[in-house]
A and B are shown apart, each in its own frame.
Chain A
Amino acid sequence: MNTQANVSTAVLARAGKYLTFFLADEEYGLEILKVSEIIGLQPITRVPRMPDFVRGVINLRGKVIPIMDLRRKFDMETDGMQDSCIIVVQMRGIQTGIVVDRVSEVVAVAEAEIEDAPSFGAGIHTEFLLGIAKSGGRVKLLLDIDRVLRTSEIEALEAAQLHES
C-alpha cells in the first residue's frame, strides 16, 4: 500500500482507521497513526500574543506542548463549548494537543465511503479536509491534520512577525 500511495495521490491513502471526535455537533476523523494519546483536560497556560486558536500550553509528563482549538481555527461557534479531553497528535516528532468536545470511536473507513470535500465557495475553508466519509449513517469529516497544523504554524509565525515589524 505504501508504494501505491507514492504513485497515485493521497486518494488511495485515505482509506484506513480513523479516530473520530466531536467539535460541537460535527464529527471529525483523525488518522489513527497520527494520534499518540488521548488525555483528560488539564489546566492550560495561556500564551500571550498568539493567534486565538492557540489555547496555550500544557505539561505532558515534563514536556511542554501547545494546545490548539480547532473550533476557533475553523471559525466555528464557540458558545457552549464543553472541552472534555485533549487528543495529542504527533507529526514529524512534534507533538501538539487538540481540545475536543468528546472523543467518539475508532472506525475503519473504506475508500468507497469517502467523498471529496465539496466546495462551498468563499468563506468556508475545506482545504483542511482529506474528504468526507459517510459510514454508519453519519457524516464524518476527515481531517488533514498535517495541513491544519502546518498552516497554524505558519500563521502563528506570521502573527509573531507582524508583532515584531
Chain B
Amino acid sequence: MTPLTLDDAAMLLMQLEVSDTTDLALVRDALTALAFENRVPLTAQPFVARAARVLGTLINGTAANGVAAMQEVSAAIDDAMRAADGLAPSVPSVPSVVTVPSVVTVPSVVTARTGVVPTPVAEATPAMAVVDVDRLPDDADRDLLPDFLTESLECVSASENALLQLEGNPGDEEAVNTVFRAFHTVKGTSAFLGLARVAAFAHEAESLLSRVRDKEIRYTRGCADLSLRAADMLKALLSVVHTALATDGRLPVPPGYQALLDALAGYDPEQHANGVSAQPTALSESASLAAAPAKARPDSTADTTIRVRTDRLDRLIDMVGELVIAQSMIAGDDHFGTAKQHDLLRKVTHAGKIVRELQDLSMSMRMVPLRATFQKLARVVRDTSVKAGKTVQFITDGDDVEIDRNMVDLLSDPLVHMVRNAVDHGVEPPQEREGQGKTPSGFVRLHAYHASGNVVVELRDDGRGLHRDKLVQKAIEKGLIESDKGMSDSDVFNLIFAPGFSTADKITDISGRGVGMDVVRRNLELIRGRIDITSAPGQGSTFAIRLPLTLAVTDGMLVRVGEERFIIPLTHIHMSFRPEPSMLSTVVGKGEVVLLRGELLPIVPLHRLFGVPNAVHSPLDGLLMIVGDGARRTALLVDDLLGQQQVVAKTLGDGLGKVPGVSGGAILQDGRVGLILDVTETVALVQSPDPQLPYVDLRERRDVRDLAA
C-alpha cells in the first residue's frame, strides 16, 4: 500500500460514492495506517481514527445514513488536517519516527489488528490534553479491550526489562528502541480505543525516550528512574482500565499520575541528572551490574505466537491422551499374535510412533520459558537493593528453561519473596562486606536447569549465610523445638519454613515480618515443589527449588487394593517393602505399627480407609509403602504394586465436589479411570480425632456390600 497523506485521503473521498465499499476500505486502511504510524501529529490522530471508524460502519453496512456518515468522515478529516498544520504542538518525536524504519514495522500487534477490526473504535477526544475523562468511552469495543490489555502489559514488561538493560549500558540503542516501541504501541492502540489518558501518558513517556534515542539527552540515573516509574504508571493505568471493564466503567486517576506526567513533560537532564528523588550516588554501581542478563536479549518479535484459550489446549491434550490409549488398544489386539498380520502390525507401530510424538508435542504446548519470571525478579532486586542501600549484582542463568504455564504464576510469588530475602537479609551492606574482605557489591544468582526429570531453580547469594546457632536459639525461643540434639544442618535450616519464624534482627518494610518462608513453602507445595537449603556462615546460602516439569503429568505408582487401583504420586513415596513378622506389633489391640530401622510408623490399611472389599488384611500378605513427611510419616498397606506410570491428572468432575483423600483422577492405560491419592490428606484423614471417620464400617456401606456380593 503506497503511503497516503491526509490530503490524498480527502481527495479520494470526494470522488467516492457511499457504495464503493472496496475503495472506501482502502481509504480506511490508509487512515488507520496514518494514525498508527505516527505520520500525523498526535493531536490529529483522534480525528483520523474517528474518520476510519465511521468509514468502517459505512463499509460493513451498519451506518444508519450513508450520506451523513460520508459527511462525518469528511468533517473528521478536515478537523484532522486543521489539527495537523494549524495547531501542530511540540511533538518532537514525530518527524524522526518516519525516518526510523523499525518503528513503522514494529507494532506487529497493531498491524495485524487493523485487518481484524472492521470497526475500529475510537473516541473523538483529543488524546493530549484531556485528563478529566473518567469513564470508559461509551462506544469502546469491550471485546477488544482485554486483548489490548494483555498486549499492552506485555509491551510494558518488555520495556521494563529493556530499561534495566539500559541502566547497565546507557549506549544500548536497541534497548532504547525497544522501550520506545513499547510505549509507542501502547499509545497507538490506546488512542485508537479511546483511552485518552493512557494514550496521553504513553505519549509523554515515549517522548522522553525519543529524546534519549535522538541523543538529545543522556540516559542518566534520573532518567532511568523516571522511565521505570513511567512503566509502573502505565501498568497502573492499564489495571484501572481492567477494573473498569469488569465494573462500572469508571476510570479513576491513579495516585501520582499528574505529578509524574508533569515530571515527564518537564524533564530537564541537567537538573535531574542524579535522580529525581535524590538517590545515593554510590548505587550507580549496582545499576551497571544489573545489566548482567543482557546477553539474553528479549526479542519478543522474533517468535510469532498465537494465543489459544487454555481450555481448548487442555481439551487437545485430553484428546491426544485418548488417542494414545486407543492406539495402544489396537496395538495390543490379539489379532497381531499371528504371523500373518505382520504387515498390519508394522503400520500400526508406525502410527504409534506418530501418536507418541503428537503427545510430546501437545505436552510441550503448555510450556513457557522462565524468562519473564526472571525478568520480573531483576526489577525486584533493583528496587530492593536501592531501598536497603546495598549494591547487588544479579545474575540469571538458564532463563530459557521451560515449565508448565500454570506453574509460572505460582512460582513467581515465592521467588519474589526469596529474592527479597536474599537481598534484604542475605547480602550485607557494602561496609560490612568490605570488612570481611568481600567485594562491596553482593551477588545473587538465579540459576535454572534440568536435573533428573525435574526443573531446579537455584537461588544463591554470597551474603551472611544461615547461622545454625542463631536459628536454634530462635526456634527454642518460639517453642518450635526443645533442643537441637540430633538435628542435622538441613533439619535446622528447614526451621525457617515454620510459621511465624523470622531470623531478621530488625523488621524492615521489605521483609522480615515473620510471614514468609512458611508461605513460600506452602506455595511451592502447591506446585509439588521441594526446597532444599545449603548454607555456610559468611559464605552465603543456596535455596534449591526442585519442580516437576509440568503439573499436567504426575509420576505415580499404580497400586492395587482389592480389585481397585489407586495412583500414589511418586514424590510422596519414600520406600515400599514387605514386612517381616518381627517388625509388626499392635497398639491397644487395634492400631498396628511397624518398626522400621528404629522408627515406629503407624500402619494405615488403605482398604479400610476407603472401604475396599476383598483386600489383603494382613501387612504380611501385602506391601507397606512409607509416605509423608516428619510427624506424618505413615505406612500405607496396599495389596500390590502394579508399576510406575506417568498419568495426566484430571478433576473428578465438578458435580462431585471435593473427595477427601483423593486429589483427582487419571485415565489409565486400559481406558479406565484411576484415582490419584492425595497423600497429605489421606494421612490427615487417619489422624483426624474422630475415630469413626477413617474406618468406614463396611457393613453399613451398601455400595460395598453390592460390590462384594
Contacts and interface: CB of A to CB of B under 8 A. Distances in A.
Interface in A148-162: 149, 152-153, 156-157, 160
Contacts of B665: 45, 57, 64
A93 B655 CA distance: 10
Contacts, number: 107
A163 B656 CA distance: 15
A95 interface: yes
B366 to A, nearest CB: 16
A48 interface: yes
A136 interface: no
Given A43-B672, A62-B319, A62-B667, A48 B661 contact: yes
A30 B656 CA distance: 21
Given A48-B659, A48-B661, 8 more contacts: A61-B319, A61-B322, A63-B318, A78-B706, A94-B655, A163-B660, A163-B685, A165-B690
13 contacts: A45-B673, A47-B662, A48-B610, A57-B673, A59-B673, A62-B322, A63-B650, A64-B650, A66-B653, A149-B655, A156-B655, A160-B659, A164-B660
Nearest to A164: B660
Contacts of B690: 165
Nearest to A161: B658
B638 to A, nearest CB: 14
A59 B659 contact: no
Q: Identify the interface centre among B318, B611, B660, B685: most chain A CB within 10 Å of its CB.
A: B660
B657 interface: yes
A46 B665 CA distance: 11
Chain A interface main SS type: mixed
A96 B661 CA distance: 21
A66 B664 CA distance: 12
A48 B662 contact: yes
Contact of B653 (A52, A94, A160, A164): A94
A48 B612 contact: yes
B619 interface: no
B564 A45 contact: yes
Contacts of A152: 655
A54 interface: yes
A55 interface: yes
Interface in A71-123: 72, 78, 93-96
Nearest to A81: B706
A96 B672 CA distance: 17
Contacts of A65: 653, 655
Nearest to B702: A52
Contacts of A47: 652, 656, 659, 662, 675
Given A52-B702, A72-B702, A64 B657 contact: no
7 closest A-B pairs (Cβ-Cβ)? A48-B610, A62-B318, A62-B322, A45-B673, A64-B665, A157-B657, A66-B653
Nearest to A95: B653
A58 interface: yes
A156 B660 CA distance: 11
Given A45-B564, A49-B659, A156-B656, A55 B703 contact: yes
Interface in A123-165: 149, 152-153, 156-157, 160, 163-165
Nearest to B667: A59
Nearest to B670: A43
A46 B657 contact: no
A157 to B, nearest CB: 4
A52 B701 contact: yes
B143 interface: no
Given A63-B650, A160-B660, A49 B655 contact: no
A78 B564 CA distance: 23
Contacts of A149: 655
A66 B652 CA distance: 7
B651 interface: yes
A66 to B, nearest CB: 4
A49 B703 CA distance: 11
A135 to B, nearest CB: 30
B671 A59 contact: yes
A43 B673 CA distance: 9
B660 A64 contact: no
A49 B651 contact: no
B707 A96 contact: no
B322 A50 contact: no
Nearest to B681: A164
A93 to B, nearest CB: 8
B570 interface: no
Contacts of B319: 61-62
Contacts of B696: 48-49
A96 B653 contact: yes
B155 to A, nearest CB: 34
B654 interface: yes
Contacts of B46: none
Q: Identify the interface centre among A43, A49, A66, A157: most chain B CB within 10 Å of its CB.
A: A49
A72 B706 CA distance: 12
A143 B212 CA distance: 72
Contacts of A94: 653-655
B204 to A, nearest CB: 45
Contact of A50 (B321, B609, B656, B667): B656
Contacts of A58: 673
B693 interface: yes
A153 B650 CA distance: 19
B675 A45 contact: yes
A30 to B, nearest CB: 16
